[in-house]
Chain A
Amino acid sequence: MQRPTLTRRNLGEMVMKRIMQGALVLVMSTLGLIVWTIISRGLPSLTWEMVSQTPKGGFYMGKGGGVLNAILGSIYIGLGSTMLALIVSLPIALALNTYVQQTRWQERIRLMLDVLWGIPSIVYGAFGFTVMLTFGLRASLLAGIVIVALVILPIMIRAMDEVLRRMPTDLTHAALALGTTRFEVARHVVLRQMLPGLVTAILLAFGRGIGDAASVLFTAGYTDRMPTSLFSPTATLPLAVLFQLSTPFEAVRERGYASAFILTILVLVVSIGARWLSHALSRYTIK
């Protein structure tokens, strides 16, 4: 009975396992291919000039310059929208976990936030632009920040919410029982417990803010100048990629690939950094 027999059942198991391994390899290699394509086409065109200069005259016909304005613009938009979303989401997440006592309402609000997270950013972009038209505003860094903040707000609130929800009350009680003051509890215990989740949420939102194109297309606009004021149009990296690729000049498109490479690296650094930092910070937290 215990001989290794190749029954129909064992064969099924083996075949399915192979198929699943095949699927995994397909998925991973396709995703690897993307990274490889971006690196192999972007890296050769990457020059110091690209990341240190703004577009010179005739940049879009192959003349000199770089996309520093777009890199900075994206970072500004990412930072600004993350900060704005953070400021708005903290009280909401706190209220959701302290004062909204009916779990029925809590659950409804959470459901709505999860649903909102999927709304396409082009919808927010179009909304932002039509509001700006109504009030006679032109595209600006500030408008971009506000709209991107709307895009990332739901995920930010939900991330904070998860962090707060998992906050063990035992922990604060234990710390209080040891004779620590409440301020010390807040500073050393609560913050340390919350930090990993908080950092992850912030960095992921930042990554999304940097990379989103459809929401800034109309709201932040585009310019070849450096972003200097909240009220002037601001270039962003995804749009820089898009515009460079839509020119007929090979040299410009090559720089578009390099810009895509810069964007990818930026997002990967933020995303991997988020994971690493959250891992490092959660060494002393209670799961």
Chain B
Amino acid sequence: MDAHISVQNLHVWYGNLAALTAISVDIPRHGITVIMGPSGCGKTTLLKSFNRFLELNDTTRISGTVAVDGHDVYAPGVDVTAVRKRVGLLAQRPTALPMSIFENVAYGMRIHQPHLDKSALAIQVQHYLEVAGLWHEVAQRLDAPATALSIGQQQRLCLARGLAVEPEIILGDEPTSALDPISSRHIEQKLLELKQRYTTVIVTHTLRQAKRLADYVIFMYLGEIVEAGPAQQLFTNPQQERTKEYLAGVF
């Protein structure tokens, strides 16, 4: 397997509380990897260890390695902004920045490519809005405040904003949990379209969504990985008791 992200012996503590214990797992290049498990099992913590969001909380302690293409993102001297440019995040709640629709998409580009001229920027913005399937809805009002969009549109805007800095990896932290069913479908559709080009890692607590999206599954329980493997195999023929119980809806 061609591992895009390789986690080795990762431990995470929040204060004195162990959130992740001895996590070792490989995430394959391209395709959608779904991290699932009951709430509080450490799914989101694992996800946020990939773009170094865990350190935003200063009581967090981390040990172990998370390597993207063989380079540990926690190695000393690594530029955290470069990691985050490479590893995009679609948050749980859609968060439009308090600026226009255009500026939301252009936000990351203005930071990473400050010399991009206005017309090049406009072309890029249109491109990523199209990729996120939002262009036709907002083409006439790019200067409108982004917060005026519906919540489902905002999440697609966030997708466009994330894609605009050209990441290789997209992380999704329950990206549809705040959305209505139709908007959720929309996002899921987009993720399926994009999986040919991006390594996508999604956290979800709904089994059905996991089944719809997953090429590869990581099942977690109480801060540990119980089982990981190709979706087909894990859903039809789980090896561990815990996984069977979870799939059967015992907890």
Interface residues in chain A, defined as those with a beta carbon under 8 Å from any beta carbon in chain B: 1-5, 9-10
Contacts and interface: CB of A to CB of B under 8 A. Distances in A.
In the complex, which of the residues A1, A2, A3, A4 has the most CB atoms of chain B within 10 Å of its own CB atom?
A2
A2 B78 contact: yes
A75 B111 CA distance: 58
Given A2-B82, A9-B111, 15 more contacts: A1-B82, A1-B86, A2-B71, A2-B73, A2-B75, A2-B78, A2-B79, A3-B77, A3-B79, A4-B77, A4-B79, A5-B79, A9-B81, A10-B79, A10-B81
B136 to A, nearest CB: 34
Contacts of A3: 77, 79
Task: Determine chain A's interface SS by DSSP, over half rule.
Answer: loop
Interface string B51-85: 00000000000000000000101010111011100
Contacts of A2: 71, 73, 75, 78-79, 82-83
**Chain B interface extent, by class:** 10 to 19
Contacts of A1: 82, 86
Interface in B97-142: 111
A5 B81 CA distance: 11
A3 B73 CA distance: 11
Contacts of B71: 2
A144 B71 CA distance: 72
A10 B79 CA distance: 9
A100 to B, nearest CB: 32
Contacts of A10: 79, 81
Interface string B86-99: 10000000000000
A282 to B, nearest CB: 20
A31 B160 CA distance: 48
Nearest to A13: B81
Nearest to A10: B79
Closest 8 CB pairs of A and B: A4-B77, A2-B78, A2-B71, A2-B82, A1-B82, A4-B79, A2-B79, A5-B79
Contacts of A4: 77-79
Nearest to B81: A9
19 contacts: A1-B82, A1-B86, A2-B71, A2-B73, A2-B75, A2-B78, A2-B79, A2-B82, A2-B83, A3-B77, A3-B79, A4-B77, A4-B78, A4-B79, A5-B79, A9-B81, A9-B111, A10-B79, A10-B81
In the complex, which of the residues B77, B81, B82 has the most CB atoms of chain A within 10 Å of its own CB atom?
B82
Contacts of B73: 2
In the complex, which of the residues A1, A3, A9, A10 has the most CB atoms of chain B within 10 Å of its own CB atom?
A1
Nearest to B73: A2
A208 to B, nearest CB: 35
A2 B80 CA distance: 8
B71 to A, nearest CB: 5
Contacts of B83: 2
Nearest to A7: B79
A6 to B, nearest CB: 10
A10 B86 CA distance: 17
Contacts of B111: 9
Contacts of B81: 9-10
A82 B31 CA distance: 68
A3 B79 CA distance: 7
A2 B68 CA distance: 10
A2 B83 CA distance: 7
Nearest to B72: A2
Contacts of A5: 79
A3 B75 CA distance: 10
Nearest to B86: A1
Nearest to A8: B114
A189 B111 CA distance: 53
A3 to B, nearest CB: 7
A3 B86 CA distance: 14
